């Protein structure tokens, strides 16, 4: 069966990815910051292995790369992310902004660098990025400087990566997962993790190289940059 690696697998959208792909019979590599505290993740049924990964940390991504050296991975899902500081213009906190950029932009790029050889060795060669419609410049409704700018930067970084690695057979895709009822999205959010990941899974299963570099909703609808 194909293999998939998911970052930020300890809860929310990441854990739902693990649950649904494991249920499909895939080999799932579930990466999270604190495997010792990930009892729920470890109880997911199926072929699931848990790995330690803090995407903020160069040594942690290097250790994961070393642990997985030589192992093909069909799909990598860069899901780990934070909302960061919600401070407005008058109170911008640059340390907090840098922290969000580190997790939401540099993190997925570090993971992409660390695992690119694994992806290139896989049959599917797909790298998924959980972005956000809040990173769309065209749809910007103001506020949330930190989160919006981090996801807009992720969109650009992945666009560059897609152009560089598309010719090598890689398909890179950016998703807006919907407004999802997780710790980040809040209990009242209209889309459940099950609905969000069911949609994204369907899109991933139907991906082709022609989709490289696209930014889409969890149901596959194209989104404006
Ligand atoms: N929920 C929404 O409505 C929504 C909308 C648009 C986009 N998104 C995006 O979807 C992704 C998942 O969000 P979610 O709603 O599932 O959020 P969540 O419930 O807050 O979960 C976030 C996950 O990211 C992990 N994480 C955070 N920083 C990390 C780091 N430095 N290294 C490794 N893992 C880290 C967390 O791990 P710990 O358990 O260790 O903290 C947790 O597993 C994020 O990229 C988010 O920006 C969410």
Using pLDDT thresholds of 50, 70 and 90, give the confidence band for residue 17: very high
Task: Say if CB 40 and CB 11 are below 8 A apart.
Answer: yes
C-beta 180 within 6 A of ligand 1:
yes
Give Cα separations from 3 to 10, 85, 125, 184, 189 (angstroms). Answer: 18, 35, 11, 27, 30
pLDDT in tens, 186-214: 999 999 999 999 999 999 999 999 999 99
C-beta 35 within 6 A of ligand 1:
no
**Segment 123-140 mean pLDDT:** 98
Q: Return the ligand 1 atom nearest residue 193 CA.
A: 16
Q: What whole-number distance in Å separates Cα of residue 48 and Cα of residue 22?
A: 7
Question: What pLDDT score does 116 carry?
Answer: 98
Give Cα separations from 90 to 87, 95, 106, 117, 167 (angstroms). Answer: 8, 15, 26, 44, 45
C-beta 30 within 6 A of ligand 1:
no
pLDDT in tens, 110-127: 999 999 999 999 999 999
Cβ atoms within 10 A of the Cβ of 209, count?
Answer: 12
pLDDT in tens, 141-171: 999 999 999 999 999 999 999 999 999 999 9
- Against a cut of 0.85, is the pTM above it? yes
Q: Return the ligand 1 atom nearest residue 57 CA.
A: 31
Q: What whole-number distance in Å separates Cα of residue 166 and Cα of residue 210?
A: 9
Average pLDDT over the chain reads: 98
Mutate to test the pocket of ligand 1, among 10, 12, 32, 108 (most ligand atoms within 8 A of CB): 12
Which tokens sit at 104?
């939401």
Question: What pLDDT score does 201 carry?
Answer: 98
Q: Return the ligand 1 atom nearest residue 12 CA.
A: 16
**Segment 60-85 mean pLDDT:** 98
């Amino acid at each position: 069966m194909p293999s998939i690696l998911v970052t930020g697998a300890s809860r929310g959208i990441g854990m739902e990815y693990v649950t649904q792909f494991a249920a499909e019979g895939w080999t799932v590599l579930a990466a999270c910051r604190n495997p010792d505290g990930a009892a729920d993740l470890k109880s997911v049924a199926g072929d699931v292995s848990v790995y330690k990964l803090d995407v903020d940390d160069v040594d942690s991504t290097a250790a994961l790369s070393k642990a997985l050296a030589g192992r093909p991975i069909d799909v990598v899902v860069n899901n780990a992310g934070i909302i960061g500081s919600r401070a407005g213009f008058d109170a911008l906190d640059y340390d907090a902004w840098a922290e969000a950029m580190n997790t939401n932009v540099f993190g997925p790029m570090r993971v992409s660098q660390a695992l690119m050889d694994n992806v290139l060795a896989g049959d599917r060669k797909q790298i998924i990025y959980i972005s956000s419609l809040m990173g769309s410049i065209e749809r910007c409704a103001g506020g949330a400087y930190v989160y919006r700018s981090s996801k807009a930067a992720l969109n650009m970084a992945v666009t560059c990566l897609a152009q560089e690695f598309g010719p090598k057979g890689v398909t890179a895709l950016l998703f807006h997962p919907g407004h999802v009822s997780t710790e980040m999205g809040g209990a009242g959010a209209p889309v459940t993790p099950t609905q969000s990941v069911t949609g994204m899974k369907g899109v991933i299963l139907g991906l082709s190289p022609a989709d490289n570099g696209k930014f889409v909703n969890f149901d596959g609808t194209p989104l404006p940059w």
